[in-house]
């Protein structure tokens, strides 16, 4: 690119220089010719007064010798009657034409030009003064002026090429940096950024590239998180299946256990199908038919009720007492039912995975004036470091560490929050607050809410030996 810009600058400057140099050179040559002829005319005019006084050849010869042209042998005087003083160079026909016309003329002569000036004498006679000018006199200084003009033109071309090269360096360096950054990103280095520089267009291109790369990094991070979140949904049916298989291993002839295992396998297959469908559907695709209500919002109480029906069987197998508190009516929340169910499964799954068998837990759906709260408490050992537990991908118990993060991001998408504290059962309590009014996607906690008195219900799961657990 630098070579091309240099050639373009050289060509344009050369055209501009020639458009000035050629006329100036021709004008200089014409001025040199006019200067020499004017000097010759002045020397010819200096003999006019002498001819008016005398026509004596001896006196005229002395007068001719007193002029520079006469001293150089370039001045001649043609008197009437054919007498010539000096060295004549003009042709006879040119002399006759000047006598007849009685007007000064410049005629060609061997090796130069001759300035012929007629002078009227007495009795109608005409004398002609001839001043010879050589070609060197006619072109004196022309070669030097052409040389100077050529050097000036060359200097202009060189300066324009240098300036074009300096400007091209900025463009080329900015373009090279952008090309290297594109190559780096194409090679998988998403940390590559370009320092915008050069002309305004290239700066805009560099800024657009950096913005595009940042957006690409965010999209890839979101895609990885979405893949991890979707995969995390498999943990619920896999946990249930593992527990049922443990029971089958202890009692292979138990038909109820076999039926539960088959039902869990069906749920696992359904979860895999949902993950594949969600992964294939882009963000701009419409929701599947028949699911518009699910994607517009759902009833949190109904979702919790359905998921507790699934988990109650496992709770009974492990001798866990389940305490539920649900509102009398619906508890609408602005989140899809599938995502809320995934959060409920993740938090209940954490209780089953991280607390020993026989540990009681409670699930409360709190319906307030501005938010709906889902409270999951247990009688286990609790959570020692709440901040570490909320870090995505961090777990101190050998799990993925995604369950609490999924719940937190769902709550924050509504303007709510997730809190970890102590449960009345003695263990940990996870509170998921889903804001139902006000701006969405706020990072602030929902704060205090007006609430209605819920209707308390207690579900007591049977112990493995068939006895009922404690009621509340």
pLDDT tens column, 408-460: 888 998 999 999 888 889 899 999 999 998 655 543 333 333 334 344 444 43
pLDDT class of 269 with cuts at 50, 70, 90 = low
Answer whether 406's CB lies under 8 Å from 346's CB: yes
pLDDT class of 230 with cuts at 50, 70, 90 = low
Mean predicted confidence (pLDDT) in 463-470? 36
Does residue 469 carry a pLDDT above 70?
no
Does residue 472 carry a pLDDT above 60?
no
Answer whether 468's CB lies under 8 Å from 460's CB: yes
Torsion 424-428-434-440 (CA) sign: positive
Mean predicted lDDT score pLDDT of the chain: 79
The β-bridge relationship of strands 371-378 and 361-367 is: antiparallel
Mean predicted confidence (pLDDT) in 59-73? 85
CA–CA distance, 200 with 203 (Å, rounded to integer): 5
pLDDT in tens, 380-391: 888 877 776 676
Q: What pLDDT is stored for residue 185 in this prediction?
A: 86
Q: What pLDDT is stored for residue 172 in this prediction?
A: 80
Mean predicted confidence (pLDDT) in 9-38? 87
For residues 253 and 7, the model is more confident at 7
Q: What pLDDT is stored for residue 321 in this prediction?
A: 92
Torsion 227-233-238-243 (CA) sign: positive
Percentage of residues in the chain having pLDDT higher than 90: 14
Q: What angle do CA 462, 465, 467 make, to 5 degrees?
A: 45
Does residue 57 carry a pLDDT above 60?
yes
Answer whether 460's CB lies under 8 Å from 470's CB: yes
CA–CA distance, 274 with 267 (Å, rounded to integer): 10
Q: What pLDDT is stored for residue 59 in this prediction?
A: 86
Considering only the top CATH level, what class is 297-472?
A: alpha beta
Q: What pLDDT is stored for residue 17 in this prediction?
A: 85
pLDDT in tens, 68-98: 888 888 888 888 878 888 888 888 898 889 8
Q: What pLDDT is stored for residue 6 in this prediction?
A: 79
Q: What pLDDT is stored for residue 64 in this prediction?
A: 85
For residues 101 and 4, the model is more confident at 101
Mean predicted confidence (pLDDT) in 208-232? 79
pLDDT in tens, 152-175: 989 988 998 888 887 777 778 888
pLDDT class of 264 with cuts at 50, 70, 90 = low
Does residue 2 carry a pLDDT above 90?
no
Does residue 468 carry a pLDDT above 50?
no
CA–CA distance, 160 with 8 (Å, rounded to integer): 10
The β-bridge relationship of strands 322-326 and 361-367 is: parallel
Place of tokens 């003695």: 426
Q: What pLDDT is stored for residue 463 in this prediction?
A: 37
Question: Among 191-200, 228-237, 368-377, where is mean pLDDT lowest?
Answer: 228-237
CA–CA distance, 89 with 354 (Å, rounded to integer): 128
pLDDT in tens, 301-319: 999 999 898 888 778 878 8
Q: What pLDDT is stored for residue 28 in this prediction?
A: 87
Percentage of residues in the chain having pLDDT higher than 70: 74
For residues 121 and 430, the model is more confident at 430
Residue 425 tokens read as: 């059962």
Maximum C-alpha span of the chain: 167
For residues 462 and 151, the model is more confident at 151
Nearest to 308 by CA among 259, 351, 356, 254: 351
Does residue 372 carry a pLDDT above 90?
yes
Question: What is the residue extent of each domain of the chain?
Answer: 297-472
């Amino acid at each position: 690119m630098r070579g091309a810009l240099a050639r373009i600058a050289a060509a344009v400057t050369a055209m501009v220089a020639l458009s000035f140099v050629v006329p100036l050179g021709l004008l200089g040559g014409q001025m040199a010719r006019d200067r020499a002829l004017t000097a010759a005319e002045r020397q010819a005019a200096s003999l006019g007064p002498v001819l008016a006084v005398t026509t004596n050849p001896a006196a005229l010869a002395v007068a001719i010798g007193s002029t520079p042209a006469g001293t150089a042998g370039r001045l001649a005087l043609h008197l009437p009657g054919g007498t010539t003083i000096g060295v004549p160079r003009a042709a006879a026909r040119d002399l006759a034409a000047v006598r007849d016309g009685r007007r000064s003329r410049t005629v060609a002569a061997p090796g130069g030009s001759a300035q012929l000036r007629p002078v009227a004498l007495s009795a109608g006679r005409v004398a002609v003064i001839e001043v010879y000018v050589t070609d060197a006199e006619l072109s004196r200084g022309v070669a030097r002026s052409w040389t100077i003009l050529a050097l000036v033109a060359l200097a202009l071309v060189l300066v324009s090429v240098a300036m074009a090269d300096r400007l091209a360096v900025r463009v080329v360096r900015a373009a090279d940096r952008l090309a290297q950054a594109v190559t780096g990103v194409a090679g998988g280095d998403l940390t590559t950024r370009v320092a915008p520089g050069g002309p305004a267009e290239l700066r805009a291109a560099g800024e657009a590239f950096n913005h595009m790369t940042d957006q690409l990094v965010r999209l890839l991070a979101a895609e990885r998180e979405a893949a991890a979140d979707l995969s995390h949904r498999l943990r619920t049916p896999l946990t249930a299946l593992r527990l049922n298989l443990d029971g089958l291993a202890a009692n292979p002839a138990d038909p109820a256990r076999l039926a539960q295992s088959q039902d869990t396998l069906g749920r696992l297959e359904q979860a895999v199908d949902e993950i594949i469908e969600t992964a294939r559907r882009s963000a701009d695709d419409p929701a599947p038919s028949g699911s518009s209500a699910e994607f517009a919002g759902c009833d949190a109480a109904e979702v919790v009720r359905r998921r507790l029906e699934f988990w109650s069987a496992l709770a009974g197998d492990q001798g866990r007492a389940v305490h539920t508190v649900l509102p009398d009516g619906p508890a609408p929340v602005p989140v899809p039912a599938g995502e809320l169910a995934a959060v409920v499964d993740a938090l209940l799954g954490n209780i089953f995975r991280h607390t020993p068998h026989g540990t009681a837990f409670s699930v409360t759906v709190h319906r307030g004036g501005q938010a709906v709260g889902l409270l999951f408490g247990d009688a286990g050992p609790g959570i020692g470091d709440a901040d570490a537990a909320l870090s995505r991908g961090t777990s101190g118990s050998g799990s993925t560490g995604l369950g609490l993060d999924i719940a937190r991001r769902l709550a924050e998408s509504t303007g709510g929050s997730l809190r970890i504290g102590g449960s009345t059962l003695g263990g940990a309590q996870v509170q998921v607050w889903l804001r139902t009014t006000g701006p969405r996607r706020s990072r602030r906690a929902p704060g205090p809410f007006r609430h209605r008195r819920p209707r308390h219900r207690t579900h007591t799961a049977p112990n493995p030996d068939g006895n009922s657990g404690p009621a509340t």
